[in-house]
Amino acid sequence: MARFYDVDITNPLMLGTALYPSPAILKDAFKVSGAEIATVSLRREQGAGQDFWSLIKSMNLRLLPNTAGCYSVKEAVTTAYMAREVFDTPWIKLEVIGHTDTLQPEPFALVEAARILSEDGFQVFPYMTDDLVLADRLVEVGCRVLMPWGAPIGSGLGLNNEYALKTLRNYFPDIPLVVDAGIGLPSHAARAMELGFDAILLNTAVAKAQDPVKMAQAFSLAIQAGALGYQAGPMEVRDMASPSTPVIGKAWL
C-alpha cells in the first residue's frame, strides 16, 4: 500500500482522463482497473464543460490535477492555484515542460515551481526525468512523492533507463515513487513494479488501445503481478546455469 502525503492508496494504478473514445468507455476502463486516482487537466475541464466534470465526480475518484502544457514557473504556479480552487484539493501533478519535441521537464523551473507551491501548502507530485540530483533537489524543497518518467510522454517505449530508476529507488527508500509517462504495455508496468516502484501513472496506453477497457484490466493485473513479485523477493540472477533438481539420488552408471 502506497501513502501519498497523508492518503493511503490500495491500488497502485493511476489513470489519466484524456483521449478516450467516449465518456462511457472512460468510465468502464476506470471501473475494471480499480484505479482510485484520476489525473485531470484544468484545460480539459474548461474545454469539456460540465458534462465531463459531472462524470468524473460520479466516479468517486481522488483527483490529481495537473499543470499539463505549462512551459514556465509562472504559468505552472498560476495553473496550480486555479486547479486548487476548481478541484478543491491540495494535490497537484506539477509539469513544467522544457522541450517541445520530447516534452522533457525543465529541471530548474520544476524545482522553483515545486518550492513555491510546497511553501504555500500544495502537496506536489513532480513529473521529472530519472535524474538523481533533480530528485534530491525536489525532496529538499518539500516534495514527498517523485514521479520520474519511464520514457517521453505518449511514446510507449517503456522503461528507457532501468539503471537510473533502480538508483532512485535505492536512494529514496522512504519516498513514494511513481513511474509517470512512457508506459506502453502491461509488461512495462509490471517491470516497474518489480523494481520496487509504488505506483504507475498512465493514460495513452489505455485510452488509445483498440479496446481501452480490456487494456485497463490488463494493466491492473500486470501491476498486481509485478508488485507481488517484488514483495516475494526475486531470485538472484546468475551468469551460469544452476540445476533445480538435486544430485542426491541420481543413478550412477
Instruction: List, by residue number, the catalytic residues.
Output: 93
Q: DSSP strand E in 26-110: where?
A: 37-41, 62-66, 91-94
CB 223 within 8 A of CB 183: no
Cα gap 63→17, rounded to integer Å: 10
Q: Is 249 annotated as a binding residue?
A: no
Q: Is 203 annotated as a binding residue?
A: yes
Sheet with 123-128: list strands edge to edge: 147-148, 123-128, 91-94, 62-66, 37-41, 13-16, 199-202, 178-180
DSSP symbols for 7-38: EEES--EEEE-SS-S-HHHHHHHHHHHT--EE
Q: Is 135 annotated as a binding residue?
A: no
Cα gap 62→239, rounded to integer Å: 45
Q: What are phi and psi of 148, to 5 degrees?
A: -75, 150
Cβ neighbours of 110 (radius 10 Å): 27
Q: Is 154 annotated as a binding residue?
A: yes
Cα gap 144→43, rounded to integer Å: 26
Q: Which of 45, 54, 42 is nearest to 84 (CA)?
A: 42
Q: Is 181 annotated as a binding residue?
A: yes
Residues placed in the known binding site for 1-deoxy-D-xylulose 5-phosphate:
154, 181-182, 203-204
